Amino acid sequence: EIVLTQSPGTLSLSPGERATLSCRASETVSAIYMAWYQHKPGQAPRLLIYGASSRATGIPDRFSGSGSGTDFTLTISRLEPEDFAVYYCQRYRFSRWTFGQGTKVEIK
Amino acid sequence: QVQLVESGGGVVQPGTSLRLSCVGSGFTFSSYTLHWVRQAPGKGLEWVAVISHDGSTEYYSDSVKGRFTLSRDDSKSTMYLQMNSLRAEDTAVYYCASPPRVVALWGQGTQVTVSS
């Protein structure tokens, strides 16, 4: 069973700074099956990126995804106040979804 | 309005049962494969189960296999999660969700608490 490991666990940054979040898979994953979500307390998770690099509808272009093989990255080019949240990578197949343990992006 | 809405959560004792519902609106419900995902207190997201768009195929996580059962009634635009033999570790917010595409639908979640 595939395992997704996200790093760092917590990222302390200031508004305006660049955030780089990593997701490493325990085995090679097809990029078309990788996604990223933003999750805030009391809210539903929000899809940001699917297919490793495609932005979902309505997602600002400061969010970008990249990667292949076992290493995937979510980049937030300039943090806005509303971007402070927990981020999860996901490997999705019809038969099973796997999530990383999450990276918390907090205000420094 | 395109949305998924969960209901049916509550506080139950270990060993008992609960049925969650997920109602869709604003889209062609019968065309969608749907999943359940849960988040236990202080933990991350955990995938629970999936049912195909036509209800013919289901998969479950190892942690719920044999205890939880999925079904759907497309005439009511509703998916059900029958949860039996509930355990304390099933305590979580349960979300229904569609696969990640250009748009992904997630409900707001329903709280399930298993406690004596």
pLDDT tens for chain A, residues 1 to 108? 899 999 999 999 999 999 999 999 999 999 999 999 999 999 999 999 999 999 999 999 999 999 999 999 999 999 999 999 999 999 999 899 999 999 999 999
* pLDDT the model gives residue B102: 83
* pLDDT the model gives residue B64: 98
Q: Which residue of A has its CA nearest to B42?
A: A41
* pLDDT the model gives residue B103: 85
Enumerate the residues of chain B whose CB falls inside 8 A of the CB of residue A102.
Answer: 44-45
* Contact (Cβ atoms closer than 8 angstroms) between residue A53 and residue A36: no
Nearest by CB to B44, from A46, A92, A101: name it. Answer: A101
Q: Which residues contact A87 (CB under 8 A, 6 or more apart)?
A: A6, A21, A36, A37, A38, A39, A48, A74, A102, A103, A104, A105
Percent of chain A scoring above 90 in pLDDT: 97
* CB spacing of A96 vs B61 below 8 angstroms: yes
For B63-78, give the DSSP string. Answer: TTTTTEEEEEEGGGTE
